[in-house]
A and B are shown apart, each in its own frame.
Chain A
């Protein structure tokens, strides 16, 4: 065996060794996830569907003049699908369902993405810090959590929406974010508590690494599987949050179309029985989107847990 302690290694050999070792190293997370998607056809289909749909509605909504779209066209009152150039028909005010669906999807998905990003980031940080430090820090952070948990969430959101007069998609996202980090933070905290007890954290402490680096550089990658799965599934859930409130009439303002306002058409018994095209497309879209996202979430979960993987079998 070569004695590295006496002779210094020359840079070329070091480079060669580095390359050799890197080629033998285990595949990266990205490659594992991709293999897992390839092994699970429905999930791959779901991924393509969701990504293509989000890109489509984002781009298509730029070509739609929203104020004009939301004007009442009395002559097109409840047009059937494919009648007078209305692909999916029109609602009781003669507005195109197809165009509303595109703009509404963009709004709803945009709110869901924003909400997921803000609430998950906050919840993950809250749970990690609370679980790692323990003691008084944990005690205070958990009492804040308990207080927030005690507030009736839907009621609070409705009250806030009523108080704030000029609200739009951004303010609504922020209001939702105040309440939707709770579940994530508790989940992350429980795993952090278990992870903090492990010896590699102790080894990092004795190696002189600071607490923030240990939390976000040492512990967080080890619970990344949980984070990815939780974020994906809460994204599916968050689409429902905005939709549900808009359906009740407390979500986005009436001038702004969303999936929720489209489904709210089903409040009218006439629409339910005769004019199915006013509400059915939006309802189907939500079902398909949420199903597809949970399929994707399952693939992420399997990639994170080696014993559940379906690829390489």
Chain B
């Protein structure tokens, strides 16, 4: 059984306008997203800014109310607030935030910040709690002198590690990592990513790894989904997506990864231009008349792509030919 299963999740925000402040339209931040995450797995969620990937993550952790669809945690429906409270849901599902500074209360000491989930879920006595906090600091590579400092006394990478320590404090089963490294510089990014991997090996945590950086996702994830305008356009294993992309949007996204290969710069540029041209030509084939992605269709055991009905027929023929 998968750890968490998202079925047709919808998060729509109303746009109010006019004299009576009535709902005139909806922003469909997340519009029918389905995926599942297995225990111990890292699932990547990639997309451009405003594609709804963060909203998906916030809906799963319970910060955003889903307007439709289901979120099942170990087979139990938790998309309603009282259901989350009953299962001590947030003891098992935690979040790492993008902005490490604003995610730590500036008026509180590190000890209080890391101990917050422990105080709510585990009710330890004072000494046991302090030892747990010291252990957690040690796991993320910070010394005991950090205990009584304030968040602003740390660098960006250290703060993000404190955020990670807080997220793993209650030994959760799933952590939503919402662009945990995109605010950090490259050397620190690698450091934080390695801590995330180390913690995963140690506690067997699953990650929902939200990012727009395909390089980071490739380093971290077993499976990933590409999100575009609130819908998934392609879901598959790392190999499926990076080596056999089928959707035009995925191809374009992959072509946009910068490459440090000076000798073949010209060729890379031509390749990018070619894909951009193909994208301009074929865009209409991959999106319906409203500019939205089609429902996902399986093309192999692990690989799902949002293709139009006509393309599915062609794809079937192609696959048969290849096999």
Contact = CB atoms under 8 A, between A and B. Distances in A.
A203 B166 CA distance: 9
A202 interface: yes
A199 B131 contact: no
B49 interface: no
A78 B98 CA distance: 74
B138 A5 contact: yes
A208 B117 contact: yes
Interface of A: 1-5, 8-9, 11, 14, 17-18, 20-22, 24-26, 198-200, 202-209, 218, 221-222, 224
B153 A199 contact: no
Interface string B144-159: 1101111001000000
B120 A207 contact: yes
A2 to B, nearest CB: 8
A17 B144 contact: yes
A22 B138 CA distance: 19
B288 interface: no
Q: Interface centre among A20, A198, A205, A208, by most B CB within 10 Å?
A: A208
B148 A25 contact: yes
B148 A200 contact: no
Given A4-B135, A4-B138, A25-B149, A203 B107 contact: no
Contacts of A221: 105, 107-108
Given A25-B148, A203-B103, A208-B120, 6 more contacts: A5-B138, A199-B103, A203-B105, A203-B163, A206-B90, A206-B94
A209 B119 CA distance: 9
Nearest to A219: B105
B120 A26 contact: no
Contact of A209 (B103, B116, B139): B116
Contact of A199 (B91, B97, B127): B97
B27 to A, nearest CB: 17
B145 to A, nearest CB: 6
Contacts of A199: 97-99, 102-103
B307 interface: no
A221 B112 CA distance: 14
B130 interface: yes
Nearest to B99: A199
6 contacts: A1-B141, A3-B138, A4-B135, A199-B97, A207-B120, A209-B116
A198 B102 contact: yes
Contacts of B94: 206-207
Nearest to B135: A4
A24 to B, nearest CB: 7
Contacts of A206: 61-63, 90, 93-95
Interface string B102-128: 111111110000001100110000010
Contact of A26 (B116, B130, B147, B150): B150
B166 A25 contact: no
Contacts of B98: 199
Contacts of A25: 109, 148-150
A209 B120 contact: yes
A218 B116 CA distance: 11
B134 interface: yes
Nearest to B64: A202
A197 to B, nearest CB: 9
Interface in B36-73: 58, 61-63
A134 to B, nearest CB: 12
List the 7 shortest-distance A-B pairs measured between CB atoms, nearest first: A208-B120, A199-B103, A207-B117, A21-B148, A221-B107, A25-B148, A200-B105
Most chain A CB neighbours (cut-off 10 Å) among B93, B134, B153: B134
Contact of B127 (A11, A203, A224): A11
A243 to B, nearest CB: 37
B91 A205 contact: no
B145 A20 contact: yes
Given A3-B138, A14-B131, A207-B166, A202 B91 contact: no
B121 A24 contact: no
Contacts of A204: 105, 116
A8 B145 CA distance: 17
Nearest to A208: B120
B301 to A, nearest CB: 34
B97 A202 contact: yes
Contacts of A18: 130, 147-148
B111 to A, nearest CB: 9
